[in-house]
Amino acid sequence: MTPAGKNRPDANAGATATAVAGPEELGAGPAGAPRRRLWWPAALAAVVALGLGLPALLAGGPPASGTAVTAAATPATDSPEAGFARDMAAHHQQAVDMSFIVRDRTGDEAVRTLAFDIINTQANQRGMLMGWLDQWGLTQTSAAKPMAWMGHTYEAHDGSLMPGMATNTELDRLRSLNGRDAEVWYLQLMIEHHKGGLGMAQAYVDASTNPAEKRLAQTMINGQQAEIGLITDMLAERGAKPLT
């Protein structure tokens, strides 16, 4: 199959924030895998950010001449805009954490490339979400339960705060594995993680009033749907299947 990270859709790119991990940080894996210089995720991120017109589209910016203002300039702290920004930022952070874990547990080039792609893309997107909250003068955390803005009820347990998020027990298992076993467990967890994120992003697209944040949510949907297909193929190559 095509190695992970090649021919990936532009829609999966993130924001203009500096990537958390560069190609040099990936280094050689435990099996001595050679470094691979990956420049395209950051380049795609810059292209998408230019398309989004981030500076001009931040809520509260001046409307174009003759354009009627139909929504409040600054979202309220309990709005879908603020709720989605906070919750998806937390959801993305766990995907980044899992990707860093597997990066150090395998020397497989395809899995490590996928991990780098997820680290870069989701860290950049998280930076956009946190930046919007700061722009709106809102806190990055809230006393409200996760996903309350979309009327979702999820019983948090063992560190899993939202649908798709891995539990602490599942993360501990990932840290204990190496090689193919680590690859399979990571890929299985990431499919579940993406599915949970897709549900939240779609709910925001359906309810949103902020055009820039809505475009980012749709970018997440497009990219993660494509990535689920890729990860499913990677599991099949390793003789495994998704958890559900």
pTM of the entire predicted model: 0.72
What's the length of the chain? 244
Which pLDDT score is estimated for 87? 98
Which pLDDT score is estimated for 227? 97
- Average pLDDT across the chain, whole number: 80
More confident residue, 106 or 3: 106
Least confident of 80-89, 140-149, 168-177: 140-149
**CATH level 3 topology of 77-134+159-244:** Ferritin (1.20.1260)
| Of the candidates 195, 235, 186, 242, the residue with the CA atom closest to the CA atom of residue 1 | 235
pLDDT in tens, 124-151: 999 999 999 999 999 999 999 999 999 9
Which pLDDT score is estimated for 58? 41
Question: Are 131 and 160 in contact, with CB atoms under 8 Å apart?
Answer: no
Task: Give, as one character, the DSSP assignment of residue 10.
Answer: G
pLDDT in tens, 116-129: 999 999 999 999 99
Which pLDDT score is estimated for 42? 41
Residue 238 has pLDDT above 50, yes or no: yes
Amino acid (one-letter) located at 159: G
Q: Give the pLDDT band (50/70/90) at residue 209.
A: confident
More confident residue, 5 or 122: 122
